Structure 1
Amino acid sequence: MEGAISSPSNARIAVVTGGNKGIGFEVCRQLASDGVTVVLTARDETRGTAAVEKLKGLGLSDFFASLCEQCRSWWGEYLQELDTNEEKFSGLDYHQRLEWMVKNVNETVDGAKECVQTNYYGTKHVIEALLPLLQSSSDGRLVNVSSAYGLLTFINNEEVRQELNDIDSLTEKRLDELLDKFLKDFEAGALEARGWSTGFAAYKMAKAAMNAYSRILANRYPELRVNCAHPGYAKTDMTMSSGVLTPEEGARNVVKVTLLPEGGPTGVYFAKGEEASFL
């Protein structure tokens, strides 16, 4: 999640969660290079500090501060221990790489719960904490890093799909109920029977919920710019280095949305920097 805040003095400040590596680190670097004051956050203070020092070495020392975000990472439980040597993906196209990653995911009940807590509720809690600052800005922006896996097409349950797309009626309470039902069906081994996503199931559902929540916020706070940005399938720890884009390329797609001109779109999903459908 990236939140860009413009202060009354017109200084631009961005809080970047997960900024110590991968796409998050590149978002920090690119925003700072554009003159934005960046607050870099990390799950681990030591890693966050190391990232700040690395950025200082790139001549960006005036732009960064460190903040430790207290949340746990679900990837340790969710993914099997794998050799992520990039050479193994040589000759594989985009779809073959995705298929490889999905097949090598160990989807446990605890991992699914952790995934939803991190990718939906963790992000939501950070947003709620920062909303007063965003609202005090003359041009507050909130960019939630999304995924193509968060698109509604991956949910086979037509009723659920329609609910998540009916933003005028959807509530946060109903989102909680849907996520709770998803996790109960996951634990019962009934995902396919109930029309939920399968294969990276919890990640897909968490991102679909975050997309919906972002649209709810866009309606509730029309003075803010609240958008979702899919960076693309990048070579990061999260994808076990199986992606097709570099972290720099993925970050560029997020930064582009963050730095849209004042008065730009809100409640929109961007796929690799371009407006696209939530469906």
Structure 2
Amino acid sequence: MTEYRKIALVTGGNQGIGYEICRQLGAAGVKVLVGARDSARGAEAVRRLSADGAEADVIEIDVTDEAQVTKAAAAIAQRYGRLDILVNNAGVLLPEERPGSSSAELVSQVYETNVLGVIRATKAMLPLLRRSAAGRIVNMSSSLASLQLHGDPSFELGAFLMLGYNSSKTAVNALTVLLAKDLADDGIKVNAADPGYCATGMTGYASSRTAAEGARTPVRLALLPDNGPTGGFFADSGPVPW
């Protein structure tokens, strides 16, 4: 079993911001495990990352499938023996109606990936993270999760009233705070990252902010030193209000 300085799993790592997180972590000397539902797409991402000089491998993982998440954790344990960084990046944004008319079924679909998927992946990977000397968990959130910002009439994204997506990220923020407290004695730091409104497939590329720019804060949180924060919510500019 080869020893690596740091090993990171990025769910949904084969495209968009997830891919850029993998690329930037790889450039920092981290062994990157590209979590992908489609192993062929994951393998293509690994090929591109390797061409850039990163050490990368693909891990097939669908965070909505408990058995597959368990299998992915077992594969990482067998191949690498531990995990230093988990970036819970996999997420969905489905076409939604406004909160007053959105369906419970649609909101449930969003939560299945964005909330329960984070819980599944984190629980499965925790035994591996506990083997790290400095475990880090980064949960991908959004400023759309902020209740305080939505109460501000000047909030620039305040018109995006997507009940499932927005509230799912609020739930992820709550999970971040609780996990940070629960895992403090294990030395595992847990933080939420707001990548900003980026040009990705999820947003229809309707932004001037690039996926590479969106990856900067999650990468910084993944590589936090021992004196770094835990239980926080951060963007490039600093803390984001809850």
What TM-score range do you get, normalising by the shorter chain? 0.7 to 0.9
Q: CA RMSD in A?
A: 2.6
Q: What is aligned with 2:207?
A: 243
Q: Write the deviation string for residues 169-221 of structure 1: whole angstroms up to 9, x where unpaired.
A: xxxxxxxxxxxxxxxxxxxxxxxxxxxx9821111111111100110011111
Note the C-alpha offset of 1:54.
1.5
Quote the offset at 1:79 in angstroms.
2.9
2:25 to 16, 26, 31: 31
Paired position in structure 1 for 2:141: 146
Q: Out of 131, 145, 153, which is 1:136 matched to?
A: 131
**Residue deviations 1:133-185 (CA, integer Å, cap 9, x gap):** 112211111010110011123778xxxxxxxxxxxxxxxxxxxxxxxxxxxxx
1-side partners of 2:169 and 2:46: how far apart? 28
Distance 1:28 1:257 in 2: 13
Mapped to 1, the partners of 2:238 and 2:150 lie a distance apart of 23
Give the corresponding residue for 1:189.
none
What is the number of residues matched between the two proteins? Answer: 204
1:213 and 2:175 correspond: yes
- In 1, the alpha carbon distance for the partners of 2:7 and 2:53 equals 18
TM-score by length of 1: 0.67
2:166 is aligned with what amino acid? K
* CA–CA separation in structure 1 for the residues paired with 2:40 and 2:180: 35
Paired letter, 2:107? A
**Structure 2 unaligned blocks of 5 or more:** 65-89, 152-158
What amino acid does structure 1 have at the position aligned with 2:241? Answer: S
Using the TM superposition, give the Cα deviation of residue 110 of structure 1 relative to its aligned residue in structure 2, in angstroms: 3.3
| Counterpart mapping for 1:184-203 below 5 A | 199-203=161-165
Alignment of 1:259 with 2:185, yes or no, is no
Report the Cα distance in structure 2 between the residues aligned to 1:44 and 1:238, rounded to whole angstroms.
17
Aligned residue identity for 1:55: L
Aligned to 1:20, the other structure's residue is in SS state coil
Aligned partner of 2:95 in structure 1 is: 79
How far apart in 2 are the matches of 1:247 and 1:67? 22
The answer on whether the counterparts of 2:142 and 2:196 sit within 8 Å (CA) in structure 1 is yes
Aligned partner of 2:130: which letter? Q
Identity %: 36
40, 44, 47: which one pairs with 2:41?
Answer: 47
Query: Which residue in 1 is equivalent to 2:190?
Result: 226
